[in-house]
Each structure stands twice: as C-alpha cells, then as structure tokens.
C-alpha cells in the first residue's frame, strides 16, 4: 500500500509543479508582451522605412528633374554659343577679306603723283576686334595676320 511518506512526497512534488507552472505562465506572459511590443516596433519601423523610401524616391526624382533642366539649359547655351561662333566667324571673314584690299594701298602706287620723301608707307588701320572671345586660336591667328601686315612694307 501507499505509505504516508509517499503521499507527503507526492504532495510536495505537485506543489512544486504548480509553482513552476505559475512561474512559467508569468514568464510566458512577459515574453508574449515583449514579443507584441517588438512586433509593434517592427511595424512602426517598417512604416517609417517605407516613408523614407518614398521621400527618397521623390528627392531623387526632383534631383533628376533639376539635372535634366540644367542639361537643357546647358545644351541651349552651347547651341547659342555655336550659333554666335558661326556668326562671329562670318563677321570675321569679311574683315579678313577687306584686309587684302588694304594691301594694295600699302604697295607702291603705279604712277606716283608726287615724289615721296619717306619710302615707308603708313601702317594699315588695325581691324576692329570682335567682342566674341570664342576661342584663343582664332584670336591668335588674327593677331599673327596683323603682325605680318605691319611688317609687310612692299
């Protein structure tokens, strides 16, 4: 049969099991609460991330639009500059064409009207400089031509 000592031992084991179950339920409730808090925090962070991503896309789109506008403006300026360069080169060509016409003036006249005391003819008037400073090479060429004309006395 079952002895009294065995019943007391069984009672102690049941009490300790009940106490352990209460502790585990308490711990389980705390863990469920913590899990719920973390799930809510994760949801908030996810919403915040989605909001930041949407804002980032809007900002990126705005920056791209601004860059496209700047590229359009740059292309317009380059196109206008190219048109001005072409107009300036057309304007410079008649001036260059007028310069060779000035050379016969520098040359000795075919029939001198009066004796010349100074055999050096006056230097031709310098061509008007264009306000367009499109390239250094064009200006250098026109300066070289002017220097050559100044020393061309015959």
Does this model's pTM top 0.85? My answer is: no
* pLDDT of 134 strictly over 50: no
For the segment 71-89, the average pLDDT, to the nearest whole number, is 83
pLDDT averaged over every residue in the chain: 75
* pLDDT of 128 strictly over 90: no
d(CA 42, CA 27): 22
User: For the segment 90-111, what is each residue's pLDDT rounded down to a tens digit?
Assistant: 666 554 444 444 444 444 445 5
pLDDT (0 to 100) of residue 19: 98
* CA-based nearest residue to 100, from 131, 129, 124: 124
pLDDT (0 to 100) of residue 93: 57
* CA-based nearest residue to 21, from 9, 29, 33: 29
């Amino acid at each position: 049969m079952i002895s009294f000592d065995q019943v007391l031992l069984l009672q102690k084991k049941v009490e300790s099991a009940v106490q352990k179950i209460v502790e585990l339920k308490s711990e389980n409730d705390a863990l469920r609460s913590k899990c719920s808090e973390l799930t809510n925090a994760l949801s908030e962070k996810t919403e915040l991330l989605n909001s930041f991503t949407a804002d980032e896309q809007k900002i990126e789109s705005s920056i791209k639009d601004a860059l496209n506008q700047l590229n359009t403006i740059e292309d317009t300026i380059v196109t206008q500059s190219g048109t001005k360069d072409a107009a300036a080169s057309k304007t410079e060509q008649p001036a260059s064409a007028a310069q060779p016409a000035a050379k016969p003036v520098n040359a000795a006249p075919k029939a001198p009207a009066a004796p010349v005391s100074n055999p050096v003819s006056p230097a031709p008037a310098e061509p008007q400089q264009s306000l367009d400073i499109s390239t250094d090479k064009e200006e250098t060429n026109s300066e070289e031509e002017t220097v050559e004309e100044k020393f061309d006395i015959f």
